[in-house]
Structure 1
Amino acid sequence: MAERQTATYLNERFIAAGLRPLTRFGQNFLIDLNLLDLIARSAEMQKTDVVLEVGTGMGSLTTRLAEAAGAIVTVEIDDNLAELSQAELEQYPHVLQLHCDALKNKHTLAPELMDNVRKALQSLGESARFMLVANLPYNIATPLISNLLAGDPPPDRMVVTIQKEMADRLVAAPGSKDYGALSVWVQSQCAVEIVRVMPPQVFWPRPKIDSAIVRIDLQPERRAAIADLKFFHETVRALFFHRRKLLRSVTCSAFKGRLSKPEVDQTLQAAGYSGTERTEQLTVDQIIELCEHLRQAVS
């Protein structure tokens, strides 16, 4: 039963089915049941919430989410795990399991993912919230979170387990080694906190690195203040592509063919910069303002 997801239980189930965890799918199962409960509690779900879970696994977290949320869309890419977990989830009519890759490609979600989330939101009414709650496979965590924040609707809340290294990037401050495009993209729209750092031994099989539970709460007023999300996202990535170069140099490179060097100089000056700064020194709000100056200059 999914409620008893321990290392012994999982090992026995896999042996009985003639299976083994697949590294290419990032299959590391959380076996500390207290931490599974912590993930569910941290989401603070209500019966009007639609929860997206990526990585159903054996359904241990899914069943906890199903007790609290109004609807669950859970996604599993592995044929065998999808079959095993479906037996655990049959008792929950409000849980829909999709058997697919959550990503169509690096920059695009699988269409059926959000199609089913939108249907569930519509069925639960205007007060429905959208959440991502999952023990994420490490190899898709960054593109999944980034693409969801670029989508419509974005999640009102995300509570996920990810690599500790990625968690550090999400909460990083300007000037630190972890501060980069992902930090700015997420912090420009959300409040982020690390809920708990987790050692390898709470997973089966054990990963080689620490993990973390992270809570990300959308701040609609900050998101609405960004005039063009697509332009902002692309510009932030470009500005951090050569993070050690001077601001004038990376801006000229990012806008080659769209802005001349004198136009770049004029735009940076209007934004209050000499061009000798580095992108990694700028705060999130400063980068938002700079990107808006660049957007207006291009348009």
Structure 2
Amino acid sequence: MVNRQTASYLTKRFQQTGMRPLSRFGQNFLIDLNLVDLIADSADIDDRDLVLEIGTGTGSLTTRLAARAAHVITVEIDTNLAQIAQEELEDLPNVTMRLHDALKNKNNFDPELLENIRQEFDKLPAKRRRFKLVANLPYNVATPIISNLLRNDPIPDVISVTIQKELADRIVAPPGTKDYSALSIWIQSVANASIVRTLPPGVFWPPPKVTSAIIRIDTDANLRARIDNIDFFHEKLRALYFHRRKFLRSVVLSAMKGELDKAQVDAVLEKLGFSGEIRAERLTVAQTIELINELGTASAEAK
């Protein structure tokens, strides 16, 4: 089946099983197999890699990942769809299939999944092992999946996923543009991101109402090392961009409420040479890191 994943074949298969694609799970199946190959190709997978796939679907991408990777952990939330995929995957010894939601909640991965990832990762030779997320991500969970995975251990070396083009544009957006956001800064602060290919709706079944994109994100330890406290940075970054169009002094005061008073916030801004009347969205990634690091230092000293 995985080599015949056309719209007509999927339609027939779903009719046979009495199933239908579920929009609440973001089920849009990639029916151009050249593009399925491209997702796998863009991740540069080999026998050093533990690969996480979220959204097994019919197993079309999973089999390609298994043919290259040391091990694949694939997660599917739909019980009926998992049964179809299991028919394709049951004879692949390096595939672990999990049937549940990958997320515990909006801000956290399922703890059992994370433990499974760590266990499989620890089995690989320490000097050469890599961890990668490679998937045709369900659109409704793409942002929390990518954002939260970059905070967990192990940190993925590469993320190669299909997402909405709108989300991909936000991830790679430069400062001062309409798409520049907390998500842009968060990912660019720890990784290098680029859009591999834009995908029209017609390459999926059923076709989504939006244009999609394959994006590759390469994490960089040198970029990440600029951040003093990754959890504090992630928390305050989201707070700074909750009212992104307000003046910087105002949003910093709000983000640091209960930790720093007005005089202490003004002292931080003055030390960095930042006007309180610019907007947070005008700061570069490096400037935002500098600001949040300094706020963290000031907060620690104030305790």
Q: TM-score, normalised by structure 1?
A: 0.99
Contact 2:135-2:161 at 8 Å conserved across structures? yes
Q: Secondary structure at the match of 2:3?
A: helix
Report the equivalent of 2:53: 53
Corresponding letter in the other structure for 1:42: S
Contact 2:248-2:278 at 8 Å conserved across structures? yes
Taking the TM superposition and a 5 Å limit, the aligned residue runs for 1:52-71 are: 52-71=52-71
**In 1, Cα distance between the equivalents of 2:7 and 2:160?**
23
**In 2, Cα distance between the equivalents of 1:209 and 1:163?**
7
Report the equivalent of 2:269: 268
**Cα distance, 1:246 vs. partner?**
0.5
**Cα distance, 1:111 vs. partner?**
1.2
Corresponding letter in the other structure for 1:117: I
**Cα distance, 1:256 vs. partner?**
1.4
Contact 2:57-2:81 at 8 Å conserved across structures? yes
**Cα distance, 1:224 vs. partner?**
2.2
Contact 2:5-2:33 at 8 Å conserved across structures? yes
Deviating 4+ runs (over 2 angstroms): none
Taking the TM superposition and a 5 Å limit, the aligned residue runs for 1:14-29 are: 14-29=14-29
**In 1, Cα distance between the equivalents of 2:69 and 2:37?**
14
Contact 2:118-2:153 at 8 Å conserved across structures? no
Taking the TM superposition and a 5 Å limit, the aligned residue runs for 1:103-114 are: 103-114=103-114
Report the equivalent of 1:5: 5
Sequence identity, in percent?
59
**Cα distance, 1:225 vs. partner?**
2.3
Q: Please, which runs of 5 or more residues in structure 2 have no aligned partner?
A: none
Report the equivalent of 1:285: 286
- What's the CA shift string for 1:59-86, capped at 9, x where partnerless? 0000011111110000000000111101
Is 2:31 the partner of 1:31? yes
Contact 2:189-2:289 at 8 Å conserved across structures? yes
Aligned residues: 299
Taking the TM superposition and a 5 Å limit, the aligned residue runs for 1:73-152 are: 73-126=73-126, 127-152=128-153
**Cα distance, 1:125 vs. partner?**
1.5
**In 2, Cα distance between the equivalents of 1:124 and 1:10?**
36
Contact 2:40-2:65 at 8 Å conserved across structures? yes
Q: TM-score, normalised by structure 2?
A: 0.98
Report the equivalent of 2:243: 242
- What's the CA shift string for 1:140-195, capped at 9, x where partnerless? 00001111001111100000000000000000000000000000000000000000
**Cα RMSD over matched residues?**
0.7
- What's the CA shift string for 1:7-28, capped at 9, x where partnerless? 1111111000000000100000
**Cα distance, 1:30 vs. partner?**
0.4
Contact 2:269-2:276 at 8 Å conserved across structures? yes
